[in-house]
């Protein structure tokens, strides 16, 4: 069991981070930035991946893990999902941040510069993704029969794929706000480090109280769905080319679904 555990931990903690790093590195190649159409397609793709991951990789296993418990299986899932949504709502409300493409920052008034608030927005976005991978890893480590090493790999790969465009979407605007390309790459990479931290936190929590697994799986799903509905989809529906974002959602959802069903 030792080798599968080590492999699962390595995949969950490293693969998504590498995806974000690769995306941040595009700042050296795409010197003219990204077009509006391409940006909307990538944002939609990321949203589709996160929605599919929430359903197939988190909510479905949460329902299975809760079966046979002292309460109806839907109750832990409902409680965990809403808790995840409201935690991200609180973080979003109390943290000064600026979404890519937005003119006005969100959260409390702050003297932070635009690049710093953009990085804060990325950190808020990346945290739920790390939590999602971490709780699936925790389920695998706990020996839950519904979660296999392939499940961990499928979710990690899906998150890594959607992290590539995310890293580019954030790092490129940092250069247009006066930051050098090496610094923008470093900043985008460091923001990706939020994901391994979130993953490790979920592993620690679930390891302390294994019966919490259904709640924590649904919690991660709720946190990701908050990011999708609050940030990603609204950005694809602003201005022109809104249909491009919708198509991106479809492709992202199908890719993540195929990964989870085929590998998980």
pLDDT one-digit tens code per residue, 77-134: 999 999 999 999 998 888 887 666 666 777 787 777 776 776 777 777 788 888 889 8
SS3 content of the chain, % helix, strand, coil (to 5): 80, 0, 20
- Sole residue written with tokens 């929430």: 54
Radius of gyration of the chain (CA): 18
pLDDT of residue 264: 62
CA distance from start to end of the chain:
18
Please give the model's pTM, rounded to 2 decimal places: 0.84
The residues, ordered by sequence, that sit 6+ positions from 69 with a Cβ below 8 Å of its Cβ are 76, 211, 214
The contacts of residue 142 (CB under 8 Å, 6+ apart) are: 206, 207, 210, 213
DSSP bridge partners of 106: 97
**pLDDT score for 111:** 75
Q: Are 197 and 130 in contact (CB under 8 A)?
A: yes
Q: What is the pLDDT of residues 24-73, one digit of tens each?
A: 898 888 766 677 888 889 889 989 999 999 999 999 999 998 998 889 99
pLDDT attached to residue 251: 95
- Using the predicted structure, report yes or no on whether residue 1 has a pLDDT greater than 60: no
Q: For residue 77, what pLDDT is reported?
A: 96
């Amino acid at each position: 069991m030792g080798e599968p555990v080590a492999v699962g931990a390595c995949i969950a903690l490293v693969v998504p981070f590498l995806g974000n790093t690769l995306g941040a590195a595009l700042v050296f190649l795409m010197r003219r930035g990204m077009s509006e159409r391409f940006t909307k397609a990538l944002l939609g793709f990321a949203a589709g991946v996160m929605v599919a991951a929430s359903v197939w990789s988190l909510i479905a296993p949460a329902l299975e893990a809760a079966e046979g418990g002292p309460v109806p299986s839907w109750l832990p899932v409902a409680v965990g999902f809403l808790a995840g949504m409201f935690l991200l709502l609180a973080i979003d409300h109390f943290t000064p941040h600026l979404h890519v493409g937005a003119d006005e920052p969100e959260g409390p008034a702050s003297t932070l510069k635009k690049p710093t608030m953009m990085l804060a927005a990325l950190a808020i976005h990346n945290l739920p993704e790390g939590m999602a991978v971490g709780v699936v890893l925790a389920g695998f480590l706990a020996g839950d029969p519904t979660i296999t090493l392939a499940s961990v790999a499928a979710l990690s790969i899906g998150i890594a794929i959607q992290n590539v465009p995310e890293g580019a979407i954030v790092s490129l605007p940092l250069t247009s706000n006066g930051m050098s390309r090496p610094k923008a790459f470093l900043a985008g990479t460091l923001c990706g480090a939020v994901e391994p931290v979130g993953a490790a936190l979920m592993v620690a929590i679930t390891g302390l109280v294994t019966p919490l697994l259904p709640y924590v799986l649904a919690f991660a799903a709720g946190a990701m769905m908050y990011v999708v509905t609050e940030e990603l989809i609204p950005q694809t529906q602003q201005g022109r080319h809104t249909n491009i974002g919708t198509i991106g959602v479809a492709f992202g959802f199908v890719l993540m679904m195929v990964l989870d069903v085929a590998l998980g």
